[in-house]
Amino acid sequence: MGGFVFDVAHLLAGGLVLGSFMLLYQDRLYALLNAFALQAVLLALSVAWQAYGQDAPHLYITAGIALVFKAIVIPVALHRIVARLGIHREIETAVSVGPTMLAGIALVALSMVVMLRVTPDADPLAREDLAFALSVVLLGFLMMVSRRNAVSQVVGFMSLENGLILAATGAKGMPLVVEISVAFSVLVAFIVIGIFLFRIRERFDTVDVNALDRFRGERQ
């Protein structure tokens, strides 16, 4: 039984890492949002499985929060924002797919090396979860760095937070208060970013953050 629990947890957490790669691969905004929703569903499943495996029922609430907010509310809201800004056909060309993928692989390898070195005697489940969570976080950073469009930077930020939740649940669960506050702070951040998006758009007629550089006088 222990083996089976571990295998399914491994499968779901690995699916999250793969989801991050799917996010990196997309170059159209709607496809990106759908991939993000898929990753959030995987996160909810993964957290629910952790709740079952660790016998920690309060984690089901975390899974529910992840499912409702990250898989439904935020993607739908982002869909609306994209539709209202009229940028749904936007194709981004900041860094091409190939180099980004290779950089992503290097980050995953890095996080494995770091995590497997520093946690040799931890519980194997927590160990594996931490390694995957670190790679999801790093891939989220990579996403924010390699995209120019503000909407996809928001998606990168949100996927980074998926990694944080995975890490938190893998470490034998953290207090419910902390989890709920993290979830809400992310929601607040999302709202703030949403408002900013519209401000940027109002000012510069675009959500390409390169426009900000021009405004500061760094680039003519």
Partner 1 sequence: MIADLLIQGTQMTLVLLLAPLLTGFVRKVKARFLRRRGPPLLQPYRDLIRLMRKEVVLAHNASWLFRIIPYLIFAGTWVAAALIPTFATGLMFSWTADLIAITALLGSARFFLALAGMDVGTSFGGIGSSREVMIASLAEPAMIMIVFTLALLAGSTQLSTVAGVMLSPTIGLRVSLGLALIALILVAIAENARIPIDNPATHLELTMVHEAMVLEYSGRHLAVIELAAALKLLLYVSLIACVFVPWGLAPAGATLGALLAGAALYVAKLAVGGFLLAVFETSIAKMRVFRVPDFLGVALMLGLLGTLLLFVSRSL
Residues in touch with partner 1 (CB under 8 A): 3-4, 6-8, 10-11, 14-15, 17-18, 21, 25, 97-98, 101-102, 104-105, 108-109, 112, 115-116, 124, 127-128, 131-132
Q: Which residue number, 128 or 208, has a Cβ lying nearer to partner 1? A: 128
Say which residue the tokens 């946690």 belong to: 119
Q: Which residue number, 85 or 133, has a Cβ lying nearer to partner 1? A: 133
Q: Which residue number, 3 or 86, has a Cβ lying nearer to partner 1? A: 3
Q: Which residue number, 44 or 197, has a Cβ lying nearer to partner 1? A: 44
Rounded Cα–Cα distance for residues 50 and 57 (Å)? 9
- Name residue 116's amino acid: L
Rounded Cα–Cα distance for residues 104 and 136 (Å)? 10
Do residues 142 and 24 make contact, with C-beta atoms less than 8 angstroms apart?
yes
Smallest distance, Å, CB 170 to partner 1? 12
Encoded tokens for 150: 């503000």
Smallest distance, Å, CB 79 to partner 1? 25
- Name residue 36's amino acid: F
Q: Which residue number, 133 or 158, has a Cβ lying nearer to partner 1? A: 133
Instruction: Report in angstroms the alpha-carbon separations of 38 from 61, 91, 195.
Output: 19, 21, 25
CA angle 87, 88, 89 (to 5 degrees): 95
Smallest distance, Å, CB 102 to partner 1? 8
Smallest distance, Å, CB 179 to partner 1? 24
Q: Which residue number, 57 or 99, has a Cβ lying nearer to partner 1? A: 99
- φ, ψ dihedrals at 84, nearest 5°: -70, -35
Instruction: Report in angstroms the alpha-carbon separations of 210 from 137, 149, 155.
Output: 24, 9, 18
Say which residue the tokens 């989220």 belong to: 140
Contacts of residue 37, defined as CB under 8 A and 6 or more positions apart, other chains included, come to 70, 71, 72, 75
Smallest distance, Å, CB 3 to partner 1? 6
Smallest distance, Å, CB 8 to partner 1? 6
